[in-house]
Amino acid sequence: MKGVYFLADDAVLHWVLGMLASLRRHEPTLPVVWIPFGGPDRRLREHLDSYAVVAWSDTDDLEAWEDLGSQFFPKNLVGSRLFRKMAVFDGPFNEFVFIDSDVILRTSLGWAFEALSRAGAEVAFYDEGLADVYADPSLRQRMVEDYGARGWNTGFWAGHRCAIRYEMATILTPQALLVQPGFAPTGEQPFFNFVLDAGHVAAASLRDNSPLPARPRSLIVRRSTRVSADAPALHWAGQSRPSLAMPLVSIWLVTRIRAPRPASLAALVAMLVVRPLVGQARRLWSGLRTS
């Protein structure tokens, strides 16, 4: 059985609605499971039926991964809750694609499942960047030399059920904590990669194994890079919330507004327009008072 997972709560609702609108446009029948992030999520739950999304049912699994994450982020609830993402390996799908909420799909996910099959790996990722996983150069070099580390981005990827087991992750946790000072400040991503590397989990590139005629270098939207028009998805990684100033905002905005249930548009306008204007006014007033 194939399906999709995503992790979210109300804090990223607008991202989620854009992502789900694009997903259902290209994959109207593919099963989708939402993993609760752990924060307030009443507003998000109101949209689940509109997109035929099922909520993750086993909260014990999520809390176990969050508890593991708290060893790396003892004073950062957001950081520890990001580890809930790794519960997907015990989920209902034999093959799956995990999608961050700040992603817009531009085609069906058939290519990703085919790329996973072609790779013959347990997991496969599109984007990679060692500095975003192992920030310390010496640790980075050691992980490359010892394990062939690639530095996978964990915002868009495909995998098989049971590729990583919780028990295996707990065994590797003491080793990971020893090198944690060399991890990049990118949430669960360094630990996820460490488990893949030190646990010898077969990982491959979705890009290298893609059946699509075009294989863009990256799906990540940044000011310094141009994402190909042929990109099968767009990922605004590192963008805390949607903004009119973000690159390719028109693509995201059109997708979000065309959602089957375009609720919360007033809140969307407030976030994109009103809130930035209020912030600018406050900064201007503060500058006038101190000048």
Tens-digit pLDDT profile for residues 10-21: 999 999 999 999
The pLDDT value recorded for residue 259 is 66
Tens-digit pLDDT profile for residues 135-147: 999 999 999 999 9
The pLDDT value recorded for residue 244 is 87
Tens-digit pLDDT profile for residues 59-77: 999 999 999 999 999 999 9
Tens-digit pLDDT profile for residues 34-46: 999 999 999 999 9
Rg of the chain over all Cα atoms, to the nearest angstrom: 19
Write down the H helix ranges in the chain. Answer: 13-26, 42-45, 59-70, 77-81, 110-119, 137-147, 166-179, 189-198, 249-257, 265-269, 275-290
Average pLDDT, the chain: 91
Average pLDDT over residues 32-58: 96
The pLDDT value recorded for residue 241 is 87
The pLDDT value recorded for residue 284 is 55
The answer to whether 108 and 211 have CB atoms below 8 angstroms apart is: no
Res 273 pLDDT > 50: no
Tens-digit pLDDT profile for residues 150-203: 999 999 999 999 999 999 999 999 999 999 999 999 999 999 999 999 999 999
Write phi, then psi, for 10 (nearest 5 degrees): -65, -20
The pLDDT value recorded for residue 245 is 87
The pLDDT value recorded for residue 278 is 45
d(CA 40, CA 4): 22
Q: Are strands 203-205 and 123-125 parallel, antiparallel or unpaired?
A: parallel
Integer angstrom CA distances of residue 220 from 87, 129, 142, 155, 237: 24, 11, 26, 9, 6
Q: What percent of the chain has pLDDT over 70?
A: 86
Q: Which two tokens stand for residue 45?
A: 């739950």
> DSSP 3-state assignment of 123?
strand
